[in-house]
Structure 1
């Protein structure tokens, strides 16, 4: 009933750390079948394909975007037999973001399947591979704001050539575009004025620095305010900078 690729994908999801029930919900396959396949199937060449970093086959634009998503709402967890799972949590109110995330993952890791795992209010886009830690050396135990986050030299070289894709991923994960408005009375008439602006909020000072350094590189003016919670809120409000952001990023969808 199921082809070999489907079976291997279900097994890889389980070996990445998902329970049989979670794999069943995300794939529609019965827990009994997944349990049986796990006992019989050994990792295929797709699961152990050459590392994109070592092979020099990292697609720069999609990787820069995916890195932004990972720094904001992503994590990597180790499963069975050395297989790791990349999970990017995406809000269900932005279905286009979910599809963009899945597309970028498939581009960066083309030999591995991409799954969507539903949770209240969000969808985790999941892919398993032994090579996710190579692609995201920032991974580690605990929250990102409690450990150092720094780009490896090879990552920085990619970001230098694809800064807008990185910014787009960061905004899509921990940022937004909003419309502020006010009213003024002109000649006895009340008029409404709207002011679009972008915000980015993160608790990791390292991730905020990556974001603001990249804004500086592309000529976007910004201001930062630290909240009582410890998070840093970066605001982009100047008209010319907002226009630049609109040209390359735009609102979530």
Structure 2
């Protein structure tokens, strides 16, 4: 019976199952009867609406369900930076997966909170990987909410927002900027020297960086910065203009007010 095994064991089993492992593999790895693993999988699939005849959670695009627009703006940015949609062969429901580094547990919590706000009736979980966790949500309507999904890497295909997405980003620009900084950006302290009273002194100043190979994603980031009054410049490494920099004092102060460093 499943209640003879601790909650931690069950959670680990479900994480492995959702990642694509077979019942027998999980049973051997955790020392749990294969029948119990199958029972856990059945309950988990039923809770996520994967079983035949199960209730299918409503979709804001297909069914008109209310959408937490601020949370969506943030989650959309995380998806553009560190996310992708995948359909495992062992699952009937696709999953949105956001890779979050273990060095920033606050970012991981914010990602999970946004997923739960955008998909309140769907299953959300974390899958441990080396140096990071994959935060995942399962839904049959991921392509409805993230139409940017497609074959190949994001920087190798066109990334453009649908009009309804752009309206959400325009209404919640700081959430969108925060999500892009949390995925592919950082706040750093630079330094230089200047002459003061005839002597060279070290001078430190903060700045924000955003780095992404996709011209389209960098454009979305920089255009949104401009809309909220943040001045930015494009920096190149060699011939590759992959970096957006925010270094002017007033703009950094504005970013600090709404974004701040990762945590």
TM-score (norm 1): 0.85
What's the offset of the Cα at 1:113? Answer: 2.6
Looking at CA atoms only, which structure, 1 or 2, has the larger radius of gyration? 2
What's the offset of the Cα at 1:52? Answer: 2.4
Instruction: Work out whether residues 138 and 149 of structure 1, in 8 Å CA contact, stay in contact via their aligned partners in 2.
Output: yes
What's the offset of the Cα at 1:190? Answer: 5.9
Q: What 5-or-longer segments of structure 2 have no aligned partner? A: 51-55
Instruction: Work out whether residues 11 and 37 of structure 1, in 8 Å CA contact, stay in contact via their aligned partners in 2.
Output: yes
Which of 71, 77, 90 pairs up with 2:86? 77
Instruction: Work out whether residues 48 and 123 of structure 2, in 8 Å CA contact, stay in contact via their aligned partners in 1.
Output: no
- Per the alignment, residue 246 of structure 1 pairs with 256
Structure 1 moving runs of 4+ over 6 Å: 10-13, 39-42
- Per the alignment, residue 34 of structure 1 pairs with 37
Q: What 5-or-longer segments of structure 1 have no aligned partner? A: none
Note the alpha carbon deviations across 1:184-234, whole angstroms, 9 max, x for none. Answer: 453476643221000000011111111111111111111113334846100
TM-score (norm 2): 0.82
Equivalent residues in 2 for 1:74-223, closer than 5 Å: 74-79=83-88, 80=90, 82-184=92-194, 186-187=196-197, 191-223=201-233
| Partners of 2:117 and 2:91 in 1: CA distance | 24
What's the offset of the Cα at 1:31? Answer: 8.0
Instruction: Work out whether residues 196 and 237 of structure 1, in 8 Å CA contact, stay in contact via their aligned partners in 2.
Output: yes
Q: For the structure 1 residues 101 and 200, does the alpha-carbon distance in structure 2 shift closer, same or farther, using more than 3 Å as the test?
A: same
Number of residue-to-residue matches in the alignment: 246
Instruction: Work out whether residues 184 and 191 of structure 1, in 8 Å CA contact, stay in contact via their aligned partners in 2.
Output: yes
